[in-house]
């Protein structure tokens, strides 16, 4: 079984967020592995695809992902 790309792992994270965070930790681990395989230190997330696209929601997401070893940034121009 091949490891998912960063894009596929991120799509799985978005799907999990829509599905009430079902298996979110598994998807974060897969994203972290994909990032390590590609030598990336952070991942850019589209704020419009978040369940809570406000400052508190974005900060909560950053904090949760950071605790699991994934640095999150948000796409520019989206607030």
**Which domain does 25 fall in, by range?**
6-74
pTM comes to: 0.88
- The total domain count for the chain is 1
Residue 60 located in a structural domain: yes
Residue 1 located in a structural domain: no
What tokens appear for 54 in the block?
């406000």
Residue 41 located in a structural domain: yes
Per-chain mean pLDDT for the chain: 91
b/e map of 36-53 (b: 16 or more CB within 10 Å)?
A: eeeeeeebebebebbeee
Q: What is the mean pLDDT of residues 37-60?
A: 92
Q: What digits encode the pLDDT tens for the residues 4-39?
A: 899 999 999 999 999 999 999 999 999 999 999 999
Residue 55 located in a structural domain: yes
pLDDT band, very low/low/confident/very high, at 3 (cuts 50, 70, 90): confident
């Amino acid at each position: 079984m091949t490891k998912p790309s960063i894009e596929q792992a991120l799509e799985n994270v978005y799907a999990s967020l829509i599905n009430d965070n079902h298996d979110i930790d598994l998807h974060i681990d897969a994203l972290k592995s994909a990032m390590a395989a590609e030598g990336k230190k952070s991942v850019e997330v589209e704020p419009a695809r978040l369940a809570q696209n406000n400052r508190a929601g974005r900060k909560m997401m950053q904090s949760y992902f950071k605790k699991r070893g994934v640095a999150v940034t948000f796409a520019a121009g989206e607030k």
